[in-house]
């Protein structure tokens, strides 16, 4: 580990035990309407959550300490924790202690600009009942060393929120986030390579020279495409080539939506192009939106480079 990384880790660890939110107060007392909505959303028909002696579902603990949407948007700052950040989710500002803001800022400055919630643990010490007024404090419990994950390298930050009613600890909510430097994206997937063999090598040589070559039987003059060893019409094996003019029209087409193959971005149109010379070739129809491709649309050949070694003949359409 470099001295620089060492120094960062020491600075991060100095935040362990320091506050993330202080003297937070639940936005609403524990109440039956919120309990009912929760149970309906969760499909939880447990009779303990209804009636005169109803308790709150224990897993609602976080619901009582979350900031409302409006206060979250206002982001009024300060450490008094009105509505609070007990849930420890990154991206909220108002109510967070300055120390927690500093810690996140330090991680941002170290390149760990992305955040993802990783897990949550709760402990319940006694049930919450309607009318209970919830207060909480959140502490930065731990900051991990640098960890490498599939998302990228970064540090896990664990906060622990102690939830109290009238001074009595009723539950704890431990929340872990990963602040990380997003991993570099994988190099772009490349298109599949053409299979080049001795029967079609001449065609691909032509493509490299930006020429679309059609085979012609030297016995009967029949043109053929794709390239084959013998003539479909007379069976002769002798041939030469003619270069396509590049003019053609869409004879038929499909629009690919699914499955998405690497290096292709659906939806896209694949055309069966009838060349002016009369033979047909399957290729991309480019230059027009996929949903504007039509049978009979005039197209013109062009050669498109996809990567350092792959050039393909494609056909540019024109919308009438």
Residues found near Zn ion in the complex (CB under 5 A): 217, 219-220, 222, 231, 233-234, 236
Residue with smaller CB distance to Zn ion, 93 or 222? 222
Residue with smaller CB distance to Zn ion, 42 or 234? 234
To the nearest whole angstrom, how small is the minimum distance from the Cβ of residue 221 to Zn ion? 7
For the record, the structure tokens of 13 come out as: 């660890």
d(C-alpha 95, C-alpha 76), whole Å: 7
Q: How many CA atoms lie within 13 A of 309 on its CB side?
A: 5
To the nearest whole angstrom, how small is the minimum distance from the Cβ of residue 215 to Zn ion? 10
To the nearest whole angstrom, how small is the minimum distance from the Cβ of residue 310 to Zn ion? 32
To the nearest whole angstrom, how small is the minimum distance from the Cβ of residue 252 to Zn ion? 26
Tell me whether residue 85 is exposed, middle or buried, using C-beta atoms within 10 angstroms of its C-beta: 0 to 12, 13 to 18, 19 or more: buried
Residue with smaller CB distance to Zn ion, 27 or 280? 280
Asked if 229 and 198 touch (Cβ cutoff 8 Å), the reply is: no
According to DSSP, residue 96 is labeled: B
To the nearest whole angstrom, how small is the minimum distance from the Cβ of residue 312 to Zn ion? 28
Residue with smaller CB distance to Zn ion, 236 or 263? 236
Residue with smaller CB distance to Zn ion, 225 or 253? 225
Closest CA to 135 of 100, 170, 160: 170
If you write DSSP's letter for every residue of 209-278 in order, what string do you get?
TT--EEEEETTT--EESS--SS-TTT----EEEEE--SEEEEEEEEEE-SS--TT--SSEEEEEEEETTS
Residue with smaller CB distance to Zn ion, 31 or 232? 232
Give the Cα-Cα-Cα angle 301, 305, 308 (nearest 5 degrees).
155
Closest CA to 165 of 115, 223, 225, 125: 125
Asked if 176 and 118 touch (Cβ cutoff 8 Å), the reply is: yes
To the nearest whole angstrom, how small is the minimum distance from the Cβ of residue 280 to Zn ion? 18
Residue with smaller CB distance to Zn ion, 219 or 272? 219
To the nearest whole angstrom, how small is the minimum distance from the Cβ of residue 275 to Zn ion? 18
Residue with smaller CB distance to Zn ion, 103 or 217? 217
β-sheet bridge partners, residue 162: 137, 172
d(C-alpha 144, C-alpha 156), whole Å: 5
For the record, the structure tokens of 54 come out as: 């109803």
To the nearest whole angstrom, how small is the minimum distance from the Cβ of residue 222 to Zn ion? 5
For the record, the structure tokens of 288 come out as: 């027009």
């Amino acid at each position: 580990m470099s001295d620089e990384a060492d120094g960062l880790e020491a600075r991060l660890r100095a935040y362990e035990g320091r506050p993330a939110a202080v003297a937070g107060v639940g936005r609403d007392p524990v109440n039956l309407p919120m309990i009912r909505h929760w149970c309906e959303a969760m499909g939880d028909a447990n009779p303990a959550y209804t009636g005169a002696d109803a308790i709150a579902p224990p897993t609602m603990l976080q619901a009582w300490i979350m900031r409302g949407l409006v206060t979250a948007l206002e982001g009024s700052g300060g450490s008094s924790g009105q509505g609070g950040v007990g849930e420890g989710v990154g991206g909220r500002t108002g109510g967070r202690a300055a120390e927690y803001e500093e810690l996140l800022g330090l991680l941002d400055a170290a390149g760990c600009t992305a955040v993802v919630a990783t897990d949550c643990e709760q402990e319940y010490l006694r049930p919450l009942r309607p009318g209970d007024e919830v207060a909480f404090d959140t502490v930065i419990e731990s900051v991990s060393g640098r960890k490498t994950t599939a998302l990228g390298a970064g540090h896990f930050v664990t906060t622990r929120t102690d939830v109290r009613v009238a001074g009595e600890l009723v539950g704890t909510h431990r929340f872990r986030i990963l602040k990380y430097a997003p991993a570099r994206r994988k190099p772009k997937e490349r298109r599949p390579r053409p299979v080049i063999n001795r029967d079609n090598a001449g065609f691909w040589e032509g493509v490299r020279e930006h020429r679309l070559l059609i085979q012609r039987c030297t016995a009967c003059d029949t043109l053929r495409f794709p390239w084959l060893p013998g003539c479909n019409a007379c069976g002769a094996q002798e041939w030469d080539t003619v270069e396509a003019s590049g003019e053609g029209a869409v004879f038929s087409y499909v629009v690919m939506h699914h499955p998405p193959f690497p290096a292709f971005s659906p939806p896209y149109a694949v055309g069966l192009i009838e060349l002016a010379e009369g033979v047909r070739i399957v290729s991309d129809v480019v230059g027009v939106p996929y949903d504007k491709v039509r049978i009979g649309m005039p197209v013109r050949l062009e050669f498109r480079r996809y990567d350092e070694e792959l050039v393909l003949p494609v056909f540019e359409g024109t919308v009438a």
